[in-house]
Amino acid sequence: MKTIYSAIQPSGIMTLGNYIGAVNNWRAMQSDAGNKCIFALADLHTITVRQRPEDLLKNSWSFYALLLAVGIDVSKSIVYMQSHVHQHSELAWLLNCYTYVGEMNRMTQFKDKSAKHSDNINMGLMDYPVLMAADILLYDTDLVPVGYDQLQHIEITRDIALRVNNIYGDVFKVPEGFIPKVGAKIMSLQDPESKMSKSDPNPNAVISCLDAPEVIMKKFKRAVTDSDTVIAYDPDNKAGISNLLRILAVTEGKSVEETVKSCEGLRYGDLKVRVGESVVEMLRPFQSEYARLINSMDYLAVCAKEGALKASDIAEKTLARFKSAIGFAAK
């Protein structure tokens, strides 16, 4: 049995990119009896950027409901809030002592986020990858489903685990990153050279999983394409059209090649409408279930508590193993 671990930050909105690139794959993975799936709301990571307390609280429960609404099943997967499992913070501190400053200085996301949040370049922002390493290593993780932008974090996690193992023996399982073949990176509808991001200041660039159908259709109709008229999958030269084809392939459950063939003869406007309608239909049952769950706070609280207890039980064993290896006295 392989252990699958992944997490999502409960900040802003869950975008179509989050859904297709991450959460939709989580649901597929939990359906495999050979997988033990552990999914977290990474609220500790979220506060590297200043949050209004009321927004963080609201978003945390909203994202928890979104995960359940999309089909993450608490009877098959462990689903919890990161801040409810104290071992994440404790292991992160210990791993800091086995991580080099130069490694953190080279991390691409630290440079990017520092540029975007120059008024709040805090230590958490720099130390983010070490906490992420702790998240992953606590659960003896085999595979971490990620987007391309997170591969560097998987590599530093592996480096830290191997460094510890080389000193103390077989302490941590060394994880591998997993990138799905389709939909791993959904791009902005207004700037198809950039990833779809919840922090994009242009509302037409991003599809929220909770957008109304008419809003979704309007955003797709405004999607940036090119001056050509040929529908072809060519990310280098036709980034906008290729992005629409990737989205359509996922929503219709086809390969990109099959999708391109099925779109032969369509005009760009027709393609945009078809993608918009397909996304609306994919999100319809998800939105309906979310509306039910977000009004069932007692149920969500019970699920989150049970998930945290299960996660903590696993995490404590790993933490105790590491602390014993480095010489801490047992309780």
How far apart (Å, rounded) are the C-alpha atoms in residues 88 and 12? 23
Catalytic residue among 195, 221, 310, 317: 195
What are the domain boundaries of the chain?
Answer: 2-179+297-326, 203-292
Opening angle at CA 281, ends 196 and 64, nearest 5: 60
Task: Specify the CATH class of 203-292 in words.
Answer: mainly alpha
Helix orientation angle between 268-293 and 213-221, rounded to the nearest 10 degrees: 150
Q: pLDDT at position 181, please? A: 65
Cα gap 50→318, rounded to integer Å? 31
pLDDT value of position 260? 95
Question: Which one of the listed residues 113, 219, 238, 272 is annotated catalytic?
Answer: 113
pLDDT score of 4? 96
Q: Which of 79, 97, 110 is nearest to 325 (CA)?
A: 97
Longest CA span, the chain: 71
Catalytic residue list contains 317: no
Question: How many beta carbons lie within 10 A of that of residue 329, not counting itself?
Answer: 6
Which segments of 2-91 are extended strands (E)? Answer: 2-8, 35-41, 77-81
CA 48: distance to chain centroid? 16
What architecture is domain 2-179+297-326? 3-Layer(aba) Sandwich (3.40)
Strand partners for 4 = 37, 143
The active-site residue out of 76, 173, 198, 323 is 198
In 10 A of CB 292, how many CB atoms?
A: 12
Site of tokens 């994440």: 88
The per-residue pLDDT for 73 is 96
Q: Is 198 a catalytic residue?
A: yes
pLDDT at position 126, please? 86
Note if the pTM is more than 0.85.
Answer: yes
Identify the pLDDT of residue 133: 97
Catalytic, 195? Answer: yes
**Rounded average pLDDT per 10-residue block, the chain, 331 residues:** 94 88 86 93 93 95 95 96 98 97 82 71 87 98 85 92 98 90 78 89 94 97 93 94 94 92 94 97 96 97 98 98 96 82
